[in-house]
A and B are shown apart, each in its own frame.
Chain A
């Protein structure tokens, strides 16, 4: 394959895949390309997409975060529990703000623990976050007693069901966070260091940049994104399930990897991650439309990650 094609495929292949999938979906269902369906898909994908922002940054640093689903569930459960234990006489909005902030703080702390174990403990991130995945899920079960917490009223439901104009709020949240993350990674010094840390952290060190605190902060930020997504999910379902967000790590990593970010660090953009997240969602929707059994959907998703990774490896000439 000529060099030009190879580089073109690496840079733009994802968009081609996205357009092709849209066409396939359109063929599968005439309702697919209606505004309401597209907005619905946007709302569905928003949670995975928000988590994928943090995951992209973590993967850019050549690390991984497997704990995202547990952290999302824990944050959702904490927020849910707090909403239910609202003290009498407090303003509803104030208490909601407190409950949501507490959920986000839980995510931040979980991410901080991940980061500290990885950076100062010197333990590979996939092991650390595998541990916190298990701890997080255990804490969710303890906190909820294994039973769902549900029924939070209209105000909280607005996070997932509200609109700005005709655009659902989750899409607004998702797109604004993506815009901010895109600017952050492209235009700021810290953003640049995130790429540099992943590509060659020794070079960053020799350049006199203290990269360890940066790494810890990004893990904490990723935890916060997971928490936000967990709270969005709780609002969407009007319920915090003990098994909520199980397996998110797979969808999120798949989105990032499909978006072309290198698991070896230093390469990738959030814009493509967003496209990757949409592709994952479209595949799920497509398989549903085709009435493919849920078990097969799992197999399909796993296979897509593996095949995407292999294609990326071959195209980038590292195989």
Chain B
């Protein structure tokens, strides 16, 4: 018998006023699998991941996580389940250093008096170093403000921040959008690296080459509906583009 998927979305719908952002979307994600989520602007990609990361709650539908139904009310409850999101705009604090960002919201505390908790900066720096090393990221100046780092370095920090809690599902929202070509390869390596750690991954990108390079399955959204769910090896870029722009209307070309 096959193991239950890591996460399952059943008939997820979400409206914003009169706009249908998601229309009965079904999706299953397995551990150790990279799903490439693609679609034109406004296809519902962002809304879908926000439902999973707790930023939006769906109007209809059910989410199963590790086989049991869950309500993801806010980012905190997503994190508690083991769902981490690396947002497109990175959600980093530019004026804090690298460990400061990786540990934001879960600082290591030396000791405390009530609300006054003293930070254990050296332990955070040490652990940050270890995390970066384990991901194959070489970052010399840990104490640098992240605002002064390059786009790729910032992305590395954001990813480190997400995987640090040993999550079960990581959502990468356009992790390569603002990067130089050389840095894109680095992030794709990072994604490969994460997959070997048996984490479920959702990878969102506008660039199909990247999606084909890292994804095991490609899910296409169009106008809030899932129009295709394809095994990467058995499909082609042309086919995916056709689904994205709606050239193929039939829904039964599931792989």
- A residues with a Cβ closer than 8 A to B are 184, 187-190, 192, 195-196, 198-200, 202-209, 266-267
Could you give, for residues 117-134 of chain B, a 1 whenever the CB lies within 8 Å of some chain A CB and a 0 otherwise? 111010000000000000
Chain B nearest CB from A92 CB (Å) reads 32
Additional A-B contact list (16), CB under 8 Å, known A189-B119, A200-B93, A207-B75: A184-B116, A187-B121, A188-B117, A190-B117, A192-B96, A192-B119, A195-B95, A196-B96, A196-B104, A200-B92, A202-B91, A204-B93, A205-B75, A206-B87, A207-B105, A266-B94
Contact check, A204 vs B104: say whether CB atoms are below 8 A apart: yes
Most chain B CB within 10 A, of A189, A192, A204, is at A189
Q: How far is B117's CA from A198's CA once the two chains are assembled, in angstroms? A: 20
**Contact status of A196 and B93, CB under 8 A, knowing A203-B104, A206-B87:** yes
Contact check, B116 vs A188: say whether CB atoms are below 8 A apart: yes
Q: How far is B93's CA from A216's CA once the two chains are assembled, in angstroms? A: 21
Q: Find chain A residues with CB under 8 A from B76 CB.
A: 208
Q: Find chain B residues with CB under 8 A from A190 CB.
A: 115-117
Contact check, B93 vs A189: say whether CB atoms are below 8 A apart: no
Q: How far is B121's CA from A190's CA once the two chains are assembled, in angstroms? A: 14
Most chain A CB within 10 A, of B79, B87, B104, B109, is at B104
Q: Find chain B residues with CB under 8 A from A204 CB.
A: 93, 104-105
Determine whether B44 belongs to the interface, using a CB cutoff of 8 Å to chain A. no
The residue that B93 contacts in the complex, of A188, A208, A266, with Cβ under 8 A, is A266
Q: Find chain B residues with CB under 8 A from A267 CB.
A: 95
B100 nearest in chain A by CB position: A192
Contact check, B94 vs A188: say whether CB atoms are below 8 A apart: no
27 A/B residue pairs, CB under 8 Å, sorted by A: A187-B118, A187-B121, A188-B116, A188-B118, A190-B115, A190-B116, A192-B107, A196-B93, A196-B100, A199-B94, A199-B95, A200-B91, A200-B92, A202-B91, A203-B91, A203-B93, A204-B104, A206-B75, A207-B75, A207-B91, A207-B104, A207-B105, A207-B106, A208-B76, A208-B79, A266-B94, A266-B95
Q: How far is B117's CA from A192's CA once the two chains are assembled, in angstroms? A: 10
**Contact status of A200 and B105, CB under 8 A, knowing A190-B117, A208-B75:** no
Q: Find chain B residues with CB under 8 A from A184 CB.
A: 116
Contact check, A200 vs B117: say whether CB atoms are below 8 A apart: no
A267 nearest in chain B by CB position: B95
Q: How far is B92's CA from A195's CA once the two chains are assembled, in angstroms? A: 12
Could you give, for residues 57-97 of chain B, a 1 whenever the CB lies within 8 Å of some chain A CB and a 0 otherwise? 00000000000000000011001000001010001111110
Chain B nearest CB from A261 CB (Å) reads 11
Q: Find chain B residues with CB under 8 A from A195 CB.
A: 93, 95-96
Q: Find chain A residues with CB under 8 A from B87 CB.
A: 206
Q: How far is B94's CA from A204's CA once the two chains are assembled, in angstroms? A: 12
Q: How far is B96's CA from A266's CA once the two chains are assembled, in angstroms? A: 8
A207 nearest in chain B by CB position: B105
Contact check, B119 vs A206: say whether CB atoms are below 8 A apart: no
Q: How far is B105's CA from A198's CA once the two chains are assembled, in angstroms? A: 15
Chain A nearest CB from B85 CB (Å) reads 8
Chain A nearest CB from B218 CB (Å) reads 27
B147 nearest in chain A by CB position: A199
Q: How far is B107's CA from A196's CA once the two chains are assembled, in angstroms? A: 13
Q: How far is B94's CA from A200's CA once the two chains are assembled, in angstroms? A: 8
Q: Find chain B residues with CB under 8 A from A187 CB.
A: 118-119, 121
Q: Find chain B residues with CB under 8 A from A196 CB.
A: 93, 95-96, 100, 104
Chain B nearest CB from A182 CB (Å) reads 13
**Contact status of A206 and B95, CB under 8 A, knowing A189-B117, A190-B115, A196-B104:** no
Chain A nearest CB from B111 CB (Å) reads 11
Q: How far is B85's CA from A307's CA once the two chains are assembled, in angstroms? A: 43
Q: How far is B95's CA from A190's CA once the two chains are assembled, in angstroms? A: 15
Q: How far is B106's CA from A198's CA once the two chains are assembled, in angstroms? A: 18
Q: Find chain A residues with CB under 8 A from B117 CB.
A: 188-190
Chain A nearest CB from B158 CB (Å) reads 10
The residue that A208 contacts in the complex, of B96, B105, B115, B116, with Cβ under 8 A, is B105
